[in-house]
């Protein structure tokens, strides 16, 4: 990986760590005594999910879903498809969807609709990043790490063409990287 491909670091490791700790504390207080299932959305949420899980101060169950997203393009298609479904039942339980980024909001609309059919007691969303400028539907995460400008970001689990996920920070990718493809 060429470090020239990174335009700027938007969120440092420390900023992320502190925020995830705060979120873990707040969510733990809100779900005290409740049967909570954290549903991580693969693959972008992997780092956020595993850090948040370890900041939880109450017992939780964990499971994952994978949905189709950007592929190799930096624009959303709007089409959402389940590539991997939950292994466990969420009926009668409290579901917290753990997402990397809310952008147009279409993925969240689809996921909530899909999960609602399984009759959970509640469905809420925690997202690490929110790009409200690009919203096409009326969706808002219930818990949020950071609001960011409309720029294409990578790192901390978030990829471009399956690269950059292992960066420990969130960075803005230099537009030249995806414009020349």
List residues with catalytic annotation. 103
User: CB under 8 Å to 111, separation ≥6 — which residues?
Assistant: 41, 65, 67, 80, 97
CB of 32 to ligand 5GP, least distance (A): 28
CB of 113 to ligand 5GP, least distance (A): 13
Please, are residues 42 and 66 in contact by the beta-carbon 8 Å criterion?
Answer: yes
Rounded CA separation 159/154 (Å): 5
Helix or strand run (H / E) with residue 172: strand 170-173
CB of 152 to ligand 5GP, least distance (A): 4
Give the footprint of ligand 5GP on this chain (CB under 6 A). Answer: 44, 69-70, 76, 99-107, 131, 152-154, 158-160
């Amino acid at each position: 990986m060429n470090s020239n491909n990174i335009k700027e670091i938007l969120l440092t490791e420390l900023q992320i760590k502190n925020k995830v700790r705060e979120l873990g504390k707040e969510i733990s207080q809100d779900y005290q005594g409740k049967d909570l299932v954290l549903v991580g959305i693969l693959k972008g949420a992997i780092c956020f999910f595993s850090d948040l899980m370890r900041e939880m101060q109450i017992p939780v169950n964990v499971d994952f879903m994978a949905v189709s997203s950007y592929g190799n393009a930096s624009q959303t298609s709007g089409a959402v498809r389940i590539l991997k479904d939950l292994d466990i039942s969420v009926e009668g339980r409290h579901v917290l969807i753990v997402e990397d980024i809310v952008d147009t909001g279409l993925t969240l609309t689809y996921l909530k609709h899909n999960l609602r059919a399984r009759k959970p007691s509640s469905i809420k969303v925690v997202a690490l990043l929110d790009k409200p400028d690009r919203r096409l539907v009326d969706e808002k995460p219930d818990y949020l790490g950071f609001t960011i400008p409309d720029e294409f970001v990578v790192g901390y689990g978030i990829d471009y063409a399956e690269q950059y996920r292992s960066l420990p920070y969130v960075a803005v990718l230099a537009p030249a990287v995806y414009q020349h493809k």
